[in-house]
Chain A
Amino acid sequence: MAEQALPVLDVRGLKTVFRTRGGEIHAVNDVSFHLNRGEVLGVVGESGSGKSVTMMSLIRLLPSPPADIRAGQVVLNGKDLLQMDAEDLRHVRGAKVGFVFQDPMTSLNPVFTIGSQIMEPLRAHMGMTKAAAAARAVELLELVGIPDARKRLKAYPHQFSGGMRQRVMIAIALACDPDVLIADEPTTALDVTIQAQILELMKELRRKLGMAIIWITHDLGVIAGIADRVLVMYGGQVVEHAPVGELFANPQHPYTRALLKTIPKISGAREARLKVIEGQPPIMTGAPQACPFRARCEYRHDPCEKVNPLRRGGGWSSSGPGP
């Protein structure tokens, strides 16, 4: 992809707040990033850091209340999704942006056949006839590596294994040839050998179809294997973004550095003791005025209490120490 080309997706200053009985939860705080055509953007961060809420906010999938998108722009192919009317938005969700979520059993409807669930978006958004949609569904199932596809159209979700259900979810997400695929922990619930199958499949589909992928995971190994660029989230903010090689070779933000040291390796020298990130994740009851990582940071110094070193330009470049 050419450097100059406009990104397919451009997110600026996104803020999402949940209004709960216990007060406000500032789940996403001024998040900005872009996605180039045909690239895989990995998103990592600990549980509760705002990964899912960010992606659900993009396409306005969060129920409001309690969710409230307070600010931001989400420009997809030149149009701001946050300003779009319901009709256009439905079309975007069905045809321009596909999703795969973590647990395939909850995402597929148990009472409908696999076939009807794949055909639904084709008929609704592409105006296909039943026969055309069925033919395309077979094609999609074959594409995601489900053998005997024609027969399997009549199967119900419970007749498929976890790995197969996840493939079906991918087939549905791909049905209308989306420009962007958002995959939220799509392989976390699967075993490593099945995970490996799905990862290979996604890489191949990207090559073949040229779509851009946002891949959320807590597994840095998956990120290393599939991503071109990586966003690291902490406390509802993007604390670092970098090309994948750069991130692993030369992590800048103290959280990223600590994170990379807590995980054991499968080869090379065995670490005698694992590094630990002491302390607890931040409680996000207000917009962060100071650095959200300061309580757990080994490089903490005075300014960290006073300013919120939001990402500026390329990567983490706040008042913290250099590499």
Chain B
Amino acid sequence: MLDATPGLLAGGPLVQVDGLKMHFPIYSGILRRHTGDVKAVDGVSFSINAGETLGLVGESGCGKSTVGRALLRLYEPTAGRVVIDGEDVASLSPEDLRKKRPAMQMVFQDPQASLNPRMTLSRIISEPLDEHTDWAEAKKLARVHELMDAVGLNRRFDNRFPHEFSGGQRQRIGIARALALNPRFIVCDEPIAALDVSIQAQVVNLLEDLQEKLGLTYLFISHDLSMVRHIADRVAVMYLGKIAELSPRDALYSRPLHPYAEALLSAVNEPDPALAANRRRIILTGDVPSPANPPKGCNFCTRCPKVMDICRTVKPDLTEVEPQRFVACHLYPKTQAAGSTGASEATERNQQGVSL
């Protein structure tokens, strides 16, 4: 069977992100001049403890996937530090980065699009092994079978192609591939969004079992707030490239502090007509501003029901307003000392366009 990573200390941070920025340059005109930036991620800081699941929620386009990709350096971050297991991934040399890759993996949203349709299941799952090990074919196949057992795929299917599987099974293939090199940290980017409701529970249960067995650490990106409540220990709520609130799960769901977190949670449809009838919903008006041109003050000030004058001019910092609860909002005075998650402004690197 697969083994939990040895020497893993539960509790300490495995992932520490400081002042992460990911700006995508906009070029326009005949001369293709650099005329602005899409500030997809604009100064994000958080940590994830070993063995923990951090949920990352927010509406589409708020920058969740970009955070996940920048963390694993699938993008070159514009600024910030991403320390994973003691090393700053954001500044590793290409060779060191290659050595680091096995420790950090990603599970993607669309199991259909992320699997090569012309490769058999065993080729797909052993791709990372081809890349990072010099194992003989037989050893690789043994490992593939071990992984297939772990994610609940029948070994006999190892020569089939992705289209012969259902959505839930394809997501299992993606998870098996992500596990191939014994990673410690996995970014799950909307792993259940493309699946039918009845299949979502299967995949979530699998992720939970694997976490327990292997001591995995997850960043679980999702817009499904009910599912995040089920799976996450702490939750970060993003809005327009920034974290609005970062709180322990139960505290956030029972008493959200940031006005956006409050509105977002109130908009979730409770599958219970009695509760639905009594729910007080905060209906936001208007649309999310463009990340190329965010408001001057608080990013939420154009839609916030509690907006004040100061919000239109001064950006609120993410500060610890109650033990373990970080909020970026002027409603909460900075009484406590700034917490460990407070952004230390990292040096800006040259802005570079990345095409993937």
B269, CB-defined interface residue at 8 Å: yes
Given the interface contacts A192-B225, A193-B264, does A219 sit within 8 Å of B269 by beta carbon?
Answer: yes
Q: How far does the alpha carbon of A47 sit from the alpha carbon of B267 in the complex, in Å?
A: 24
Q: How far is the CB of B248 from chain A (nearest CB, A)?
A: 13
Is the CB–CB distance between A46 and B271 below 8 Å?
Answer: no
**Which of A53-61, A88-96, A129-137, A258-266 is the contact stretch?**
A258-266
Q: How far does the alpha carbon of A285 sit from the alpha carbon of B204 in the complex, in Å?
A: 31
B1, CB-defined interface residue at 8 Å: no
Is the CB–CB distance between B267 and A193 below 8 Å?
Answer: yes
Q: How large is the interface on B (under 10, 10 to 19, 20 to 34, 35 or more residues)?
A: 35 or more
Chain A residue at minimal CB-CB distance from B269: A221
Is the CB–CB distance between A267 and B287 below 8 Å?
Answer: no
Given the interface contacts A192-B264, A193-B263, A276-B202, does A221 sit within 8 Å of B270 by beta carbon?
Answer: yes
Q: How far is the CB of A224 from chain B (nearest CB, A)?
A: 5
Is the CB–CB distance between A274 and B223 below 8 Å?
Answer: no
Q: How far does the alpha carbon of A193 sit from the alpha carbon of B58 in the complex, in Å?
A: 10
B335, CB-defined interface residue at 8 Å: no
**Which of A72-80, A168-176, A194-202 is the contact stretch?**
A194-202
Is the CB–CB distance between B225 and A193 below 8 Å?
Answer: no
Is the CB–CB distance between A267 and B273 below 8 Å?
Answer: no
Q: How far does the alpha carbon of A165 sit from the alpha carbon of B270 in the complex, in Å?
A: 26
Q: How far does the alpha carbon of A259 sit from the alpha carbon of B271 in the complex, in Å?
A: 11
Q: How far is the CB of A44 from chain B (nearest CB, A)?
A: 9
Chain B residue at minimal CB-CB distance from A243: B273
A161, CB-defined interface residue at 8 Å: yes
B164, CB-defined interface residue at 8 Å: no
Q: Which of A193, A200, A267, A270 has the most C-beta atoms of chain B within 10 angstroms of its own C-beta? A: A193
Q: How far is the CB of A197 from chain B (nearest CB, A)?
A: 6
Q: Which residues on the A side are within 8 Å of B204 (C-beta)?
A: 274
Is the CB–CB distance between A262 and B269 below 8 Å?
Answer: no
The residue from A191, A267, A271, A280 contacting B270, defined by CB atoms under 8 A apart: A267
Q: Which residues of B (227-278) have their CB < 8 Å from a CB of A?
A: 227, 229-230, 250, 253-254, 263-276
Q: How far is the CB of A201 from chain B (nearest CB, A)?
A: 9
How many residues from A make CB contacts under 8 Å with B?
A: 43
Q: How far does the alpha carbon of A169 sit from the alpha carbon of B85 in the complex, in Å?
A: 50
Query: What per-residue 1/0 map shows which CB atoms of B284-298 lie under 8 Å from chain A?
Result: 110100000000000
Q: Which residues of B (5-64) have their CB < 8 Å from a CB of A?
A: 59-60
Query: What per-residue 1/0 map shows which CB atoms of A176-214 lie under 8 Å from chain B?
Result: 000000000000000111111101100000000000000
The residue from B60, B265, B281, B283 contacting A266, defined by CB atoms under 8 A apart: B265
A277, CB-defined interface residue at 8 Å: yes
Given the interface contacts A224-B270, A274-B204, does A264 sit within 8 Å of B227 by beta carbon?
Answer: yes
Q: Which residues of B (163-181) have their CB < 8 Å from a CB of A?
A: 166
Q: How far is the CB of B209 from chain A (nearest CB, A)?
A: 9
Query: What per-residue 1/0 map shows which CB atoms of B173-204 lie under 8 Å from chain A?
Result: 00000000000000000000000111011101
Q: How far is the CB of A37 from chain B (nearest CB, A)?
A: 21
Q: How far does the alpha carbon of A219 sit from the alpha carbon of B166 in the complex, in Å?
A: 20
Is the CB–CB distance between A274 and B230 below 8 Å?
Answer: yes
Q: Which residues of A (242-271) have their CB < 8 Å from a CB of B?
A: 244-245, 248-249, 258-260, 262-267, 270-271
Q: How far does the alpha carbon of A161 sit from the alpha carbon of B284 in the complex, in Å?
A: 15
Given the interface contacts A225-B276, A248-B272, A266-B268, does A259 sit within 8 Å of B166 by beta carbon?
Answer: no
Q: List 24 A-B contacts (CB under 8 A).
A: A46-B196, A47-B196, A191-B59, A193-B267, A196-B266, A196-B267, A221-B226, A224-B275, A224-B276, A225-B269, A225-B273, A225-B276, A245-B273, A262-B197, A264-B229, A265-B229, A265-B271, A266-B226, A266-B270, A267-B253, A270-B230, A270-B250, A276-B198, A276-B205
Nearest 6 CB-CB pairings of A with B = A221-B269, A274-B201, A264-B230, A191-B59, A196-B267, A220-B271
**A224-B272, A225-B270 known, 17 other contacts, Cβ within 8 Å:** A47-B196, A163-B287, A192-B223, A193-B264, A196-B266, A196-B281, A196-B283, A197-B285, A220-B197, A224-B273, A224-B275, A244-B273, A248-B274, A263-B197, A266-B268, A276-B205, A277-B201
Footprint of A on B, CB under 8 Å? 59-60, 166, 196-198, 200-202, 204-205, 208, 223, 225-227, 229-230, 250, 253-254, 263-276, 281, 283-285, 287
